[in-house]
Structure formats: C-alpha cells, structure tokens
Amino acid sequence: MTTSIAIERVETSKITAVDFDNLPFGSVYSDHMLTCDFVNGKWQAPKIEPFAPISLAPSAKIFHYGQSIFEGMKAYKDADNNIMLFRPLDNCKRLNKSAQRLVIPEIPEEIFMDGLKALLEVDSDWIPTNDGSSLYIRPFMFASGNGFHASPADAYKFIICTAPSGAYFGGKVKVLIEEKYARAANGGVGYAKAGGNYAAQFYPTQLAIEKGFNQVIWTDDNTHQFIEEAGAMNIFVRINDTLITSPTSDRILDGITRKSILQIAEDNGIETEVRKISVGEVVEAAKNGSLKEMFGAGTAAVISPIAGFGHKEDEFELPVLEKPYATILKKMITDIQTNKAEDPYGWRVFV
C-alpha cells in the first residue's frame, strides 16, 4: 500500500445485530466508510471513519446541478477467508470516465485501490460467505463545493460505502419494451454512471410497474426501433443458439459484467454477436419460436433472466429451457468471482 490512510474505528460494531442469513440488498451498511476530499485543486489524504451522515451546506452544488457519479462492485470471501474483488481496475477507470464527462476531478488509481483494500480489511467481518451473498461496494463522487451559479464546483468528495447483501432479484422478471421515453441520447451521458441517469428512469419504470411489469427495456431515443438496455443493466438476447448484445455507445454503459459474459461465452463455444437488435427482430423471433432467452447483466444481479416481455398490446413468454445460457454463464462468472474455479483472465484480485 502506497497511500497513507488514517483509520478511525467505531467504538461498538453493529455487526451482532445483522442476520446474515436474511440479507436484503443494499440496505444494511457496514461499520466504516472511506472518505477523501478534493479541495484547493487537489485530492487530500483519504481516511476511514465510522459510517455516518454527511454534513453539507444547502448551497452545495450536488443539490443544484447534479454532479454525482458512482460505481457498483462486490467483494467475496472464499472457504479460506481470502478476500477477493472482481475486475476492480475496470471500475476505477469507468468512474474516471464518468468523472471526465461531468467535469469532476478524476480520482487517482492509488487512492481508489489502496483505500478500497484498506476499507475491506477493516470491515472484513462484514463480507458474507453464504451462497449468493457478497459485500456490495458503492464508490461515489459528488460536488461538495458551494454556489448557486451554474458551473462546476470547486470542491468534491469521494466516498466508498459497503453493504452486506443477498441476491438482487428474485422470481421471474417481466419487462415492457419502451416506446415513448428514452434512457439516454446521442451526445449525452448515458455511458456514464451519473446519478441523474437513474433518476430519469424511475418514472417510466413506475408506469411499467403499474401495467404489471417489473422493469423496462429501453429503446433508442430517435426511433424506438432498437433495444438497448434492460432497466439499469445491459441486455442479452439469445436467438436460436446465438447470444446477441447491443454495442456500447454514448447511450449504453460499458458494463463490466457484459464484457465478462462475452469473453466467457466466446471461450466456451457460444456464438456471440455485438450488433444492433431491432424490436421487430425480437418480436418476430418470439412469434416463430427462435427466441430462446433474454437476460439483463450487471454487477448487482450478475445475470437476471427475463421470463417474458410486453410490446404494444402483446405479451410474450419465453420458453423454459433445461440448460439456459443465463444459468451456465452466471455460474461460470460467480465461480471465478468466489475462487471456486480457475481464473484464466486475471480478473480476480485478492486483497
């Protein structure tokens, strides 16, 4: 470790009050958090302190102009109590890509990685070992500088919080293909993990829920003829035995799970295509029986199978397969993440 990190530990841990056999996702928080401030044109020394509320002035620019970005990661423990991360440098690079787009100062890689590892060592007892559970990690940065004038802030805060969590989704997921609202536009911030992207999703998603669906499949902003993402996840479509996903762009997040799925699928003989997928193609495939699977891919759920989808006034159910790609690929990825399988890619990083 090259970064000097001051550590202030909690007087009494909350861990004894946590039921690790029944963990919700992302709503039970570990004892500590990492914080680091950007002031006077540079990042200060990071520190680890008790998880607690943040004090900000009402004039802090985060409240007015939305300079806020985040990442999602997980930490795991294997049978020998080794602590592992999955492709953490990709998260750091993507956070800085988001920072650049929102004119937030990039976080140095050594602060991100050294701070994260130190935080996991301090809160190592919070990393669950039950199957399907993990320690969810939320790094985020936001404008803490003050002012009502519409310009980038002069001060920022970087924080990493963690939450022991169970599975993200449960049960069958039904999605509605969106025909009016758009998640992102060309030249916009769709490729960045900006908080405002997700805020803008809530309303159309709520409309879909009121119609009996769980989530929305986003389509392109111009014609709504091409599917792009599933809720807050990248989307995969299997037609016959070919696994297809949309190319990344200004509108589509460069998902780390997405990249991992493509690599593992190709290396295991599954034919993949990265190309535009039209709504008409998916609907026609559902009608003629060649649509075998659809699933979302992201850090939280890893892979979330889609049981059916709605388009206009029609609803389609996907077939129940004996060995779906979703199940096969999810096991391959999670086995690498949890040190149950070899990692030929160097994705697994030990703390």
Query: What does the pLDDT look like over 280-338, one tens digit per residue?
Result: 999 999 999 999 999 999 998 899 999 999 999 999 999 999 999 999 999 999 999 99
- 133: its two tokens: 């559970």
pLDDT at residue 3 greater than cutoff 90: no
pLDDT in tens, 224-249: 999 999 999 999 999 999 999 999 99
Does any domain span residue 344?
A: no
Q: Does 342 fall in a domain?
A: no
Region of residue 269 (phi > 0: left; psi between -120 and 50: alpha; otherwise: beta): left
The arithmetic mean of pLDDT across residues 272-277, rounded, is 97
What whole-number percentage of the chain has pLDDT above 90? 94
Residue 323 · residue 61 · CB < 8 Å: no
Q: What pLDDT is stored for residue 335 in this prediction?
A: 96
Q: What is the CATH classification number for the domain harbouring 150? A: 3.30.470.10
| Domain count within the chain | 2
- 165, 186, 215 - which closes a domain: 165
Query: What pLDDT, on a 0 to 100 scale, did the predictor assign at position 248?
Result: 93
Within this chain, do residues 117 and 232 fall inside the same structural domain, yes or no? no
Structure confidence at residue 4 (pLDDT) = 86
Do 235 and 156 share a structural domain? Answer: no
Name the residue with tokens 């509108």: 251
The boundaries of the domain holding residue 85 are 6-165
**Is position 319 within any domain?**
yes
- Based on the domain organization, do 79 and 188 belong to the same domain? no
Residues 264 and 195 in one domain: yes
In a domain, residue 351? The reply is no
d(C-alpha 117, C-alpha 229), whole Å: 31
The pLDDT assigned to 170 comes to: 63
With respect to residue 186, please indicate whether it lies within any of the assigned structural domains.
yes
Q: How confident is the model at residue 167 (pLDDT cuts 50, 70, 90)?
A: confident
* pLDDT greater than 70 at residue 169: no
pLDDT digits (tens, 9 = 90+) for 100-143: 999 999 999 999 999 999 999 999 999 999 888 999 999 999 99
The single residue listed with the structure tokens 């029609």 is 314
Q: Is residue 128 part of a domain?
A: yes
Strand 32-39 and strand 42-43: the pairing is antiparallel
- Please compute the mean of the pLDDT values over residues 146-174 and round it to a whole number: 91
Which two three-digit tokens encode residue 134? Answer: 């993990």
Return the pLDDT at 220.
94
pLDDT category at 260 given cuts 50, 70, 90 is very high
Res 1 pLDDT > 70: no
Determine what percent of the chain is predicted with pLDDT higher than 70.
99
pLDDT-based confidence at residue 33 (cuts at 50, 70, 90): very high
For residues 2-19, one letter each, b for 16 or more C-beta atoms within 10 angstroms of the residue's C-beta and e for the rest, the string is ebebeeeebeebeeeebe
Is residue 85 included in any domain, yes or no? Answer: yes
Pick from 106, 140, 165: which residue ends a domain? 165
Looking at the predicted structure, is the pLDDT value of residue 152 above 90?
Answer: yes
Final residue of a domain: which of 165, 193, 218? 165
Mean pLDDT of the chain: 95
Name the residue with tokens 């500590």: 32
Angle (CA) 125 70 30, round 5°: 20
> Could you tell me if residue 79 is inside a domain?
yes
